[in-house]
Chains A and B, each alone.
Chain A
Amino acid sequence: VPFDVYLNVAVAGLLTGLVYGLMALGLSVIFGVVRVVNFAHGEMMSIAMYLAVVLFSGFHLDPLIMLVPIAAVMFVFGYALQAGLINPFITRPEHSQFLLLVALAIIIVNVLLIIFGPDARTVQTSYAYDSFQLGHLIVDASKLYAGAAAILFAGLLFVFFRYTLVGKSVRACADNYTGALVVGLNVNRLYALTFGIGAACVGAAGVMMTLIVDVTPIIGPTYTLLAFVIVITGGLGSMLGALVGGVLIGLTEAFAGLLFTPSAKSMFAFGILVLVLLFRPQGILGRRTA
């Protein structure tokens, strides 16, 4: 196989991995703070994907332009979901939380199926078939834009959590729940805010994903599983770990397809997961807990 093929595959894997990473970042943020595992994560992403498809087909609004508005809508959705539905379950056993979110996931899939039907829908932007050529390297324009937007969005999130007062408060909640209550933080509001931010992340990832893949109502569970693989590989609760895990899984899938057989791509991604669980259970960038 010529070298340029390796290069092309590596770049494609890296860019797709960045979008995967942003999607998983939402899951990691939610778990890291609220300590609820969002089993409806991929399904929430499919809501954002359909919003992008509807806005494009109805009003010709480019998904990249609609990235922030759709992320904002998903923020509101996530905030309301946490404040209204999930918050009462915070102190309940984990299996109750699991059932609640799985039920939510099933409801989302079926509502989308009722509204949009089972056919795959796509966003045919003016740059949908564009690619950039640099010597032997051909870069898919949609993937490049999506990857760049993922880096930008993740960067903004890092800045928010590190340098803003609200971001610091959220981190305080994650580090010491009791301490946060003692100093007078409104933990319930911060939890809802965090869930909203996680939903906004997955919403942004979903919008970018519409540039790369077709959307169907049943796409959600696949991405929920993928987000889990990435987050566990990168380190549950670690924001940077989610991005690193996303890139690693993106590259693994790409090179497994090239060097072995494409039909075994998922096998290699899960192989990485098994190795991480065996030799570094806290994930690549995760912190070991007692």
Chain B
Amino acid sequence: MTRKSRSNSARISRRAFSAGIGAAGLAAGIAPFNIARAQGGPLKVGVLLPRSGFEAGIGQDCQRGVDIAAPILKSLGLPELAIVNGDTESSVETARSRAAQMISDSAQLLIGAFDSGQTTAIAQVAEQNGIPLVINIAAAPEITDQGYKFVFRNFPTAKMILGDAFENQKQVFNLVGTAPKTVVFMHVNDTFGTAMSKGINFVMPKFNMPYTIADEIAYDPAARDLSVEVAKAKASNPDALLLVSRLNDAMLITRELVKQRWTPQAILSMGPGWYEDQYLKTLGKLSDGPLSFVPWYDPNKPLSKKLEAALAVAYPGINLNTNHVFTFEALLVAADAYKRAGSADPKALADAIRATNITDNVSIGPGIQFDATGQNTKVKDGAVQNRDGKVVVISPPSAANAKPEWPLTSYQSRT
């Protein structure tokens, strides 16, 4: 009797329990959001990167830019950011669903996602939900050509990369007093590679380049073996290789160049891969020589020195590169806008990002400002070259810290 009575008095009905849990969940879900807005707490920033899948190496490299950001942003007097990490798994569909999930988990701003295809999907989700997206790295022009109001890109478009690349190539050719007459253009067939391939036909004629394209070879970025592609390029007997690559394929191409006993005059890359830390470390002395015409950092800027120092402490032996710099700058844009907006309201944040005018930055160029489409038109590319496991800046002259070496040292003499 007694036991029954106690049981009855203590019992909570299933409905009441469910209602309680629901209310608690609702309170837990909403409360931090309200507190953040009311008390000016950290801005909840979702960072979407390809942390696994075939782009994982670069995605994890971008993450290093996030890892070293907090103390530097604090030293600049900027508010704290609460970072939530997300993995696109190098897949467009996963990028889309993770972005939607982050927004439903109350992310107030998104950053990402290195890959143009994945970033396009995230941009659609961000725009539909009215949440600002600051793109760290992605070059397909279409992303900021859609008339989006919540999408901002502090990275050059494919057209800008090509224009700057041709300008910097001519600068390098002038410095070394020679130039290739023919090139074979090898590129990945993903969104970025295809955008670059389309753009090259429009942009190249305007620059009166000294070379012609003897052949164009598109390949799968997840390819396991590029021996046929390199054999095909070699058969055209070009002076140089013009490339738009990723990391794994850059390593595969280099290995095939060695095995097929072919050293072109120059490797002219207009994308990632060839300057990545993993490329330098995996290939050792075989990594020396390729020239990359890419968005880069100005080693002479004060904030670059801070970033270099922070990276050296957090990741000894890792060279500062585009992945760290532009991911860090995306956070810089977010923190700067949050400070000026004084609120996490998405529209106020978007308006503040649109009014960004950061001159104390890291990347080459006068600073960070966005036009009406959300594109930073001030950002400039550089020409960099691998030297003894480091990456030096060759051009533009304002950012240069070394002179170019030309031609490539024979691969056979290095093995």
Contact = CB atoms under 8 A, between A and B. Distances in A.
Interface of A: 1-2, 5, 8-9, 12-13, 16, 113, 117-120, 122, 128-131, 133, 138, 140-141, 212-214, 216, 218-219, 222, 253-254, 257-258, 261-263, 265-266
Contacts of A265: 220, 223, 228
Interface of B: 51-54, 56-57, 60, 189, 217-220, 222-229, 231-232, 234-235, 247-248, 251-252, 255, 258-261, 278, 282, 286, 411, 415
B224 A222 contact: yes
A216 B229 contact: no
B228 A216 contact: no
27 contacts: A1-B232, A12-B228, A117-B56, A118-B51, A118-B57, A119-B56, A120-B247, A120-B251, A120-B282, A128-B255, A129-B255, A129-B258, A130-B259, A133-B261, A138-B260, A140-B259, A214-B248, A216-B56, A219-B224, A222-B224, A253-B228, A254-B227, A257-B229, A258-B231, A258-B232, A262-B232, A263-B189
A78 B240 CA distance: 49
Contacts of A113: 52
Contact of A118 (B60, B219, B220, B228): B60
Contacts of A140: 227, 259
A208 to B, nearest CB: 13
A1 B56 contact: no
Given A262-B217, A263-B219, 13 more contacts: A1-B232, A13-B228, A118-B56, A120-B57, A120-B251, A129-B259, A129-B411, A131-B259, A133-B261, A138-B260, A216-B56, A262-B220, A262-B232
Contact of A16 (B225, B260, B278, B415): B225
Nearest to B256: A140
Contact of A131 (B51, B234, B235, B261): B261
Contacts of B260: 8, 131, 138
Contacts of A120: 57, 247-248, 251, 278, 282
A84 B258 CA distance: 47
A17 to B, nearest CB: 11
A218 B220 contact: no
A282 to B, nearest CB: 29
Contacts of A257: 219, 228-229, 232
Contact of A218 (B53, B278, B282, B415): B53
- Give the one of B219, B258, B259 with max A CB within 10 A: B259
A8 B224 contact: no
Contacts of A118: 51-53, 56-57, 60
B53 A261 contact: no
B231 A9 contact: yes
Contacts of B224: 212-213, 219, 222
A138 B217 contact: no
A4 B256 CA distance: 16
Nearest to B415: A129
A138 B231 CA distance: 10
- Give the one of B235, B286, B411 with max A CB within 10 A: B235
A131 B56 CA distance: 31
A2 B227 CA distance: 16
Nearest to A257: B228
Contacts of B232: 1, 5, 257-258, 262
Contacts of B189: 263
- Give the one of A8, A129, A258, A265 with max B CB within 10 A: A129
B240 to A, nearest CB: 19
A9 B261 contact: no
Contacts of B54: 216, 218
Given A1-B232, A218-B53, A262-B218, A213 B259 contact: no
B60 A213 contact: no
A212 B225 contact: yes
Contacts of A119: 56-57, 60, 278
B57 A262 contact: no
Contacts of B235: 1-2, 5
A205 to B, nearest CB: 13
B228 A263 contact: no
A223 to B, nearest CB: 9
A147 B67 CA distance: 45
A265 B222 CA distance: 12
A218 B90 CA distance: 11
A27 to B, nearest CB: 18
Contacts of B248: 120, 214
Contacts of B261: 131, 133, 138
A276 B150 CA distance: 51
A214 B51 CA distance: 18
A9 B51 contact: no
Contacts of B251: 120, 122, 214
B223 A262 contact: yes
A119 B51 CA distance: 10
Contacts of B258: 129
Contacts of A128: 255
Nearest to A261: B218
User: Which 3 interchain pairs have the tightest Cβ spacing?
Assistant: A118-B56, A257-B228, A262-B219
